Amino acid sequence: MDYRSAFLSPSDLESFTAHLQRSQRIVAVPGAGLSASSGLPTFRGAGGLWRNYNATSLATPGAFRSDPGLVWMFYSYRRHMSLNAKPNPAHYALAELARRKPEFLTLSQNVDGLSPRAGHPADQVKLLHGSLFDVKCEDESCGYIRRDDFDDPIVPALAIPADESSMAEQSKARPDQALQAAMARKAALIKGLDISDASIPIPTIPRSSLPHCPKCKTSLLRPGVVWFGEMLPEAVLSDIDAYFDEVDPKPQAEAGNKGHMQPKKVDLCLVIGTSSQVYPAAGYASQARSMGARVAVINTDPSDARDLQEGDWFFKGDAADIVPEILKSVIGEPKASEVGKAG
């Protein structure tokens, strides 16, 4: 299928391309839909369950206090899935746009680590909700944090259970064959039991078997993500505020404002694969628009484009297809090594 004719009207693409080429200060606000083509669940709507649990109900401090083993099992599953997924063409397109446009800033709601793995410059992506691969002490007074922990599993008790047939085959194999089989499983998504399926039994993990803080040695480590009811990282918010507050060094010529420094204009805001319902991320498009930006929404669901105004754009479809196409006039064609990299 030619997705360009299926999803993009020529007039919209032409007007967007002309504006993109003139734009320097660009903000992107991607959500879970950015990573959907990489095989990662969005946990939205009818698909928002993990086993029989509403995924959002597990993303709270209270849930961790009540059943840290269950919460860690959920996040261990997500870590495993993310490590075995690959950045898709949209991740690579945004990373290339960042290299071409130094004043482009991505304000990501995703915790899966795929944007960094696509080579997105670190100073041009702000992780609003933290990362699955950071862990920290549950006791804030301790202050311990460990970044970029890619161990899978993080402790043996959180290993994804293997299916019985592969376990039996591995027990009969020579050591070198077993190692090759293990490496093959690691390179795939889930080759064991899919513990997101509620019919698959999961163990009750005692507190003693969960990851503990090596600093205070009394509290548990928890995922370094922002849970519902928690504040976003102060340093991240400070960097975003600094971006929006950056002043234009050229004095304003209007009478009464001569010599007054005004914030720089924002040219364009890309809202990618998000329902724009969680704040403060949901407010960044409006903030950019108030500073002069036109808004482009890329989403499979037209209802997520309900706040568009005259002069904005809506591109319906999968971000992995749409984003590289609408940015092509600036970033060029995707490299052959990047085509088909969705997991």
Annotated binding site: 137, 142, 213, 216
**Domain identity same for 70 and 157:** yes
Q: Taking CA 282 as the corner, what is the angle to CA 320 and CA 107, rounded to the nearest 5 degrees?
A: 55
Please tell me which residue, 7 or 112, carries the higher pLDDT value.
112
Q: The CATH number of the domain where 217 resides is what?
A: 3.30.1600.10
Note the pTM of the prediction, 2 decimals.
0.84
Q: Are residues 180 and 61 in the same domain?
A: yes
218 and 327 together in one domain: no
Q: Are residues 143 and 119 in the same domain?
A: no
* pLDDT beyond 60 at 173: no
Please give the residue range of the domain that contains residue 274: 1-40+87-129+230-249+261-336
| 165/7: higher pLDDT | 7
Q: Both 199 and 55 in a single domain?
A: yes
Q: Residue 257's pLDDT is what?
A: 56
Looking at residue 110, which CATH number applies to its domain? 3.40.50.1220
Residues 71 and 155 in one domain: yes
129 assigned to active site: yes
Residues 179 and 307 in one domain: no
Is it the case that residue 190 has pLDDT exceeding 50?
A: no
pLDDT of residue 59: 92
Residues 104 and 241 in one domain: yes
- 178 with 71, same domain: the answer is yes
Comparing 7-11, 57-61, 165-169, which segment has the lowest mean pLDDT?
Answer: 165-169
Question: In this predicted model, what pLDDT tens digit does every residue of 28-84 receive, in sequence order?
Answer: 999 999 999 999 877 765 446 788 888 888 999 999 999 999 999 999 999 999 999
Please tell me whether residues 124 and 200 are part of one structural domain: no
Give the residue with greater pLDDT, 42 vs 132: 132
Which of 19, 129, 212, 260 does the annotation list as catalytic?
129
Q: Is the pLDDT of residue 115 over 70?
A: yes
Give a yes or no: residue 294 inside a domain: yes
Summarize the annotated binding site for Zn(2+) as residue ranges: 137, 142, 213, 216
The model's pLDDT over 301-338, given as tens digits with 9 standing for 90+, comes to 888 777 788 899 999 999 999 999 999 999 998 764 56
- Domain for residue 318, yes or no? yes
22 and 118 assigned to the same domain? yes
- pLDDT value for 333: 84
Beta carbons within 8 Å of 311's beta carbon, 6+ residues apart: 294
CA dist 141 → 27, 106, 137, 144 (Å)? 35, 31, 9, 9
Q: In the prediction, which pLDDT does 246 show?
A: 92
Instruction: Name the domain count of the chain.
Output: 2
pLDDT beyond 50 at 186: no
pLDDT of 161:
75
In a domain, 32, yes or no: yes
Nearest CA to 127 out of 147, 143, 144 is that of: 147
Single-letter code of the amino acid located at 138: E
222 vs 220: CA distance, rounded Å: 6
Strand 294-299 with 313-316, pairing: parallel
Cβ atoms 88, 107 nearer than 8 A: no
| pLDDT tier for residue 291 given thresholds of 50, 70 and 90 | very high
Do 57 and 138 reside in the same domain of the chain? yes
**Is 342 part of any domain?**
no
Phi first, then psi: what are they for 108, rounded to 5°? -90, 135
Q: Point out the least confidently predicted range of 68-72, 142-146, 198-202, 267-271.
A: 198-202
In a domain, 255, yes or no: no
**Over the Cα atoms of the chain, what is R_g?**
22
